[in-house]
């Protein structure tokens, strides 16, 4: 059984009580536990405006759960959430693959930078001095543009 990471987001109506939200959470937690999975973290985004009406509601309370567990769990979660009246919308997304791809891209870019720099006989990491100089260059460019505009205005 492979453990995968999923993000579950559900929206409950804005007028639901704290208890109602906690109830949905425990429902999710029991399913998750049954599959031997774990909830990594839970985020309550609070009330947000919906981009469009859902069940005549213009607002909703968003809750995010990051879950590590097997794929079979998502089917069960999906089924349960669809039945729950307290949840007006939910979405389960598998994220581990996408995040690992992003991680790898980052690592590759860093490795390429280190290789490039060592080839040129520089220390692998940009020094503080270089970073400062790069920022300085940007400032100069902006400054140059501004002074250019001013010169034009004077004429």
Partner 1 sequence: MNGDFDNRGGRGGRGAGGDKDKDKEKGGGRRTFFRRRRVCKFCVEKIDYIGYRDVKLLAPFIPERGKIQPRRISGVCATHQRALQKAIKRARQLALIPYVTE
Burial class (CB in 10 A: 0-12, 13-18, 19+), 80: middle
Instruction: Candidates 31-39, 77-85, 104-112, 146-154: pick the segment binding partner 1 (CB under 8 A).
Output: 104-112
* DSSP secondary structure string for all residues of 135-155: HHHHHHHHHHHHHHHHHHHH-
Interacting residues with partner 1 between 7 and 26 (CB under 8 A): 9, 11
Least spacing, CB of residue 51 vs partner 1, in Å = 4
Query: Rounded distance, CA 112 to CA 46, Å?
Result: 42
- 112 touches partner 1 (CB under 8 A): no
Q: Quick check: 87 and 10 in contact, CB under 8 A? A: yes
Stretch that binds partner 1, among 24-32, 92-100, 118-126, 141-149 (CB under 8 A): 92-100
CA dihedral 84, 86, 89, 93 (to 10 degrees): -60
Using CB under 8 A as the binding criterion, the count of chain residues that bind partner 1 stands at 21
Among 3, 75, 102, 115, binds partner 1 (CB under 8 A): 102
Q: Does 75 bind partner 1 (CB under 8 A)?
A: no
Separation of first and last alpha carbons in the chain? 74
Q: Which residues bind partner 1 (CB under 8 A)?
A: 9, 11, 48, 50-52, 54, 60, 62, 64, 89, 91, 93, 98-99, 101-103, 105-106, 109
């Amino acid at each position: 059984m492979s453990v995968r990471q999923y993000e579950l987001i559900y929206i409950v109506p804005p007028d639901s009580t704290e208890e109602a939200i906690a109830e949905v959470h425990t429902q999710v937690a029991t399913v998750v536990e049954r599959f031997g999975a774990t909830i990594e973290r839970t985020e309550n985004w609070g009330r947000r405006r919906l981009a469009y009406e859902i069940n005549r509601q213009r607002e909703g309370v968003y809750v995010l759960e990051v879950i590590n567990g097997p794929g079979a769990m998502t089917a069960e979660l999906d089924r349960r959430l669809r039945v729950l009246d307290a949840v007006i919308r939910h979405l389960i997304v598998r994220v581990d693959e996408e995040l690992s791809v992003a991680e790898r891209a980052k690592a590759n870019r860093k490795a390429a930078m280190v290789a490039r720099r060592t080839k040129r006989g520089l220390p692998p990491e940009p020094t503080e001095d270089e970073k400062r100089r790069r920022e300085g260059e940007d400032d100069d460019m902006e400054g140059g543009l501004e002074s250019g505009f001013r010169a034009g205005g004077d004429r």
